[in-house]
Chains A and B, each alone.
Chain A
Amino acid sequence: MTRQRRKKKTGASLTKQRGLKKVATCVAGLDDILNGGIPRGRTTLVSGGPGSGKSVLGMEFLYRGALSGEPGIFVTFEERAAALRQSALGFGWHLAPLEEAGKFFLMEARVDPEAVLSGTFNLKGLLAIIEGKATAMGANRIVIDAVDVLLRLFDDPARERNELYALHDWLLDREMTTVLTVKVSKDTPTSARYEFLDFMADCVIYLDQRITEQINTRRLRVLKYRGSGFGSNEHPFVITEAGINIIPLLATGLRHKGLGRKVSTGHPRIDSILGGGYYRGSCILITGTSGTGKTTLASTFARVSCERGQKVLYISFEESQDSMVSCMLSPGIDLRQPLKAGSLQFLTAIPESMGAEEHLIRAFRAMEAFRPDHVILDAISACNRMGSEAAAFDYLMRLINACKEQGVTIVLTNQATGLKEEQEISGIGISSLVDAVILLRYNEIGGEINRTLLVMKSRGSKHSNQYREFLITDQGIDVVDVYVGEGGMVTGTARYEQEEREAVEQRVREHEIKRKEHEVIEKRAELEAQTAHLRAELEGAEAALESLQMEKGVYWRGREARGKMRGEGLDSSRLGTKRKGAGGKGGPK
Chain B
Amino acid sequence: MRQPAQRTKKEGSGTQGKTYMLRLFVVGDESNSKQARENLVKICEEHLKGDYKIEVVDVLNDFEAALKSNILLTPALVVVSASPPVTIFGNLSDTEKVLSALGLTGGKS
Contacts and interface: CB of A to CB of B under 8 A. Distances in A.
Interface of A: 107-112, 114-126, 128-129, 131-133, 150, 153
B74 A129 contact: no
Contacts of A153: 73, 89
A108 B67 CA distance: 9
15 contacts: A111-B70, A114-B86, A116-B88, A117-B88, A118-B90, A119-B32, A120-B90, A120-B93, A121-B32, A121-B90, A123-B72, A125-B73, A126-B72, A129-B63, A129-B66
B39 interface: yes
Nearest to B67: A129
Contact of A124 (B27, B67, B92, B98): B27
B72 A109 contact: yes
Interface of B: 25, 27, 30, 32, 35-36, 39, 59-60, 63-64, 66-67, 70-76, 86-95, 97-98, 100-101
Given A131-B63, A132-B64, A119 B76 contact: no
B89 A115 contact: yes
A143 to B, nearest CB: 16
B53 to A, nearest CB: 20
B74 A122 contact: yes
Contacts of A126: 72-73
A128 B58 CA distance: 10
A115 B74 CA distance: 13
A109 B63 CA distance: 13
Most chain-A CB neighbours within 10 Å: which of B73, B74, B95? Answer: B73
B87 A128 contact: no
A126 B69 CA distance: 11
B105 to A, nearest CB: 12
Contacts of A129: 59, 63, 66-67, 71-72
Given A109-B70, A116-B86, A124-B30, 17 more contacts: A110-B70, A114-B86, A115-B86, A115-B88, A116-B97, A117-B88, A118-B91, A118-B93, A118-B94, A119-B93, A121-B76, A121-B90, A125-B71, A125-B72, A128-B59, A129-B72, A153-B73
Most chain-B CB neighbours within 10 Å: which of A110, A125, A132? Answer: A125
A120 B30 CA distance: 12
Contact of B91 (A115, A120, A124): A120
Nearest first, the 8 closest Cβ-Cβ pairs linking A and B are A132-B63, A119-B93, A119-B90, A119-B91, A125-B74, A128-B59, A124-B27, A118-B94
Nearest to A150: B72
B66 to A, nearest CB: 5
A125 B59 contact: yes
Nearest to A130: B63
A112 B73 contact: no
Contact of A128 (B35, B63, B91): B63
Given A111-B73, A112-B70, A118-B92, A125 B27 contact: yes
Contacts of B89: 111, 115-118, 121, 153
Contacts of A117: 88-90, 97
Given A124-B30, A125-B25, A125-B59, A118 B97 contact: yes
Nearest to B31: A120
A450 to B, nearest CB: 77
Contacts of A120: 32, 90-91, 93
A103 to B, nearest CB: 18
A118 B66 contact: no
Contacts of B86: 114-116
A108 B68 CA distance: 11
Given A110-B70, A124-B27, A116 B87 contact: yes
A133 B92 contact: no
A160 B85 CA distance: 27
Nearest to A111: B72
Nearest to B78: A115
B94 A119 contact: yes
Nearest to A109: B72
A124 B30 CA distance: 10
Nearest to A105: B67
A125 to B, nearest CB: 4
A111 B90 CA distance: 13
A145 to B, nearest CB: 13
A112 B63 CA distance: 18
Contacts of B92: 118-119
A118 B98 contact: yes
A221 B37 CA distance: 48
B59 A122 contact: no
Contacts of B39: 119
A129 B59 CA distance: 7
Contacts of A124: 27, 30, 59, 74
B58 to A, nearest CB: 9
Contacts of B72: 109, 111, 123, 125-126, 129, 150
Contacts of A133: 63, 67
